[in-house]
Amino acid sequence: MENYSELGIASIGAFAIFAGLIALAYTFLALPVVRYGGRMIFLQAVRREKPDFEWLIRGFWTNYLNIVLANLLVSALIAIGMFALIVPGIIIACRLAFTSFLIMDKKLDPIEAVETSWKLTKGHGWTIFLMGFVAFFIWIFGLILFFIGVFPAIMWIKSSFASLYESVVRESDTPEEVVAVE
């Protein structure tokens, strides 16, 4: 009888490990493509273009490797910064906020996108930080409104970051020079 309970616990543990691996693969291999595509849709809306919802899956066949590598690079850099007493992680997160837009909009490779995002956000770090800080409370307020308010809150947050990206790119004296990091 005791062997059956040990077997059941081992089976649950093996299933938990398998489910964890599937969740990890989804988080790092599928979710970034949809997230980056969603950001591109919001950027199209900011530019007053007709949003193309194909962007949600277009990255799987056009820019997949760059999206996944950029997501891993940005996540690793932010994690390393967080281990260095949190503040450097917040600074890194603010300075790399435009990486996803650059990957989708300018078709840069991950290293170029990180470098370009770092250059573009110079002087805009506090703005990005405050936008993220306010966005957190807007999201919480949307959550308080019986979960339905989360959807407009997320739309407002995503469109405001897309708008900030577009205005920073337009503000730079020569965007081609900033984007072409060679």
Q: Rounded to a whole number, what is the distance in angstroms from the first to the last CA of the chain?
A: 68
pLDDT in tens, 125-138: 999 999 999 999 99
Residue 98 has pLDDT above 50, yes or no: yes
* Residue 148 banded pLDDT, cuts 50, 70, 90: confident
Distance set, CA 170 to CA 126, 128, 160, 163 (Å)? 19, 16, 15, 11
* pLDDT score, position 1: 47
Report which listed range, 1-5, 15-19, 175-179, is most confident.
15-19
pLDDT in tens, 163-181: 999 999 999 855 455 555 4
* Residue 9 banded pLDDT, cuts 50, 70, 90: confident
Considering the chain, what percentage of its residues have pLDDT values greater than 90?
79
pTM of the model: 0.84
Does the CA dihedral 148-141-160-93 come out positive or negative? Answer: negative
Q: Which two tokens stand for residue 23?
A: 């969740």
Residue given tokens 């290293």 in the structure block: 111
* pLDDT score, position 170: 92
Residue 85 has pLDDT above 90, yes or no: no
pLDDT in tens, 33-66: 999 999 999 999 999 999 999 999 998 999 999 9
State how far the Cα of 139 lies from the Cα of 154, in Å rounded to an integer.
7
65 half-sphere exposure, CB direction, 13 A CA radius: 2
Per domain, the residue ranges of the chain are 2-179
Q: Helices (H) and strands (E) in the chain — how many of each? A: 10, 0
Q: How many other C-beta atoms can be found within 10 angstroms of the C-beta atom of residue 150?
A: 17
User: Across all residues in the chain, what is the average pLDDT?
Assistant: 90
